[in-house]
């Protein structure tokens, strides 16, 4: 049992926006200030081709000594990046989120408290209605379509499988490492496996920070992910 409250924050990184390193440092320091517990930070650079270099990495290491920066040259997808990071984790539980910390500190801390209680194996963020006020129209349509599909056709512990903040203990980490999808739908695969393997699960309502900017989802990506969707449907 974790008795000192220590945990790991895991961040996948691919072509982040300028200034991402200062966002990480400020976010980690704010979380540590509020929780006053040791935090291990793991960043996985998933083959970025811009905005990730020695200057940014050195800045983070100088301000967060307990960081483990993992990097490889070819982009393989967020799912692959997170599995790579999970393999390197030494301190449980794990909370993973996006490189720009789009969710409020309060949201992350609430998820941390639930997973640290050891009463559940996994904690899944669930975005509130304000999320749809801050995203491109195409992404909004896709998100609502997926949530509706998961709610009515799949027996899952949440309809918001794609929320980008989740947490799990060692048992959840072992299950996460059995996922196979590398890109967009790895979250769906993980949530389905949680249900199939009967891991205990809690959903927590999370809020976005103001002025978070989301990228659009291309038709090309959707076409590729349609095959992964079928794969998840039949995943045992």
pLDDT tens per residue across all 236 residues of the chain = 576 899 999 999 999 999 999 999 999 999 999 999 999 999 999 999 999 999 999 999 999 999 999 999 999 999 999 999 999 999 999 999 999 999 999 999 999 999 998 889 999 999 876 666 666 565 666 666 666 666 666 778 888 898 999 999 999 999 999 999 998 889 999 999 999 999 999 999 999 998 776 665 555 666 666 667 777 766 77
74 burial level (CB within 10 Å; 0-12, 13-18, 19+) = exposed
* CA distance linking residue 161 with residue 186, whole number of Å: 9
Identify the pLDDT of residue 144.
Answer: 64
Do you find a cis peptide bond into 93, omega within 30 degrees of 0? yes
Q: Rounded to 10 degrees, what is the CA torsion of 49, 181, 199, 151? A: 100
Identify the pLDDT of residue 157.
Answer: 86
Nearest to 186 by CA among 69, 45, 73, 83: 83
* CA distance linking residue 111 with residue 68, whole number of Å: 22
- Structural contact between residues 126 and 160, judged by C-beta atoms closer than 8 angstroms: yes
Identify the pLDDT of residue 140.
Answer: 61
Which residue's entry shows tokens 């440092």? 25
Nearest to 161 by CA among 142, 135, 180, 136: 142
Q: Which domains does the chain have, with CATH numbers?
A: 7-233 (3.90.550.10)
Identify the pLDDT of residue 184.
Answer: 85
């Amino acid at each position: 049992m974790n008795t000192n409250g220590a945990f790991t924050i895991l961040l996948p990184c691919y072509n982040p926006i300028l200034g991402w390193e200062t966002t990480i440092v400020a976010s980690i320091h704010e979380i540590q200030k509020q929780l006053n517990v040791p935090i291990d930070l793991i960043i996985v650079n998933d083959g970025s081709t811009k905005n990730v270099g020695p200057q940014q990495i050195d800045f983070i290491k100088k301000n967060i000594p307990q960081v483990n920066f993992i990097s490889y040259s070819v982009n393989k997808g967020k799912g692959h990046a997170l599995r790579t990071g999970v393999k390197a984790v030494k301190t449980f539980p794990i909370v993973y989120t996006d490189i720009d910390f789009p969710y409020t500190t309060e949201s992350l801390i609430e998820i941390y408290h639930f997973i640290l209680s050891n009463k559940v194996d996994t904690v899944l963020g669930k975005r509130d209605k304000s999320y749809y006020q801050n995203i491109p129209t195409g992404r909004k349509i896709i998100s609502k379509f997926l949530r509706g599909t998961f709610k009515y056709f799949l027996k899952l512990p949440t309809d918001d499988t794609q929320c980008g903040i989740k947490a799990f203990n060692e048992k959840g980490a072992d299950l996460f490492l059995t996922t196979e999808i590398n890109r967009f739908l790895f979250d769906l695969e993980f949530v389905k496996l949680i249900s199939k393997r009967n891991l205990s699960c809690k959903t927590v309502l999370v809020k976005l920070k103001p002025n978070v900017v989301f990228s659009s989802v291309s038709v090309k990506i959707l076409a590729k992910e349609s095959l992964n969707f079928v794969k998840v449907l039949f995943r045992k």
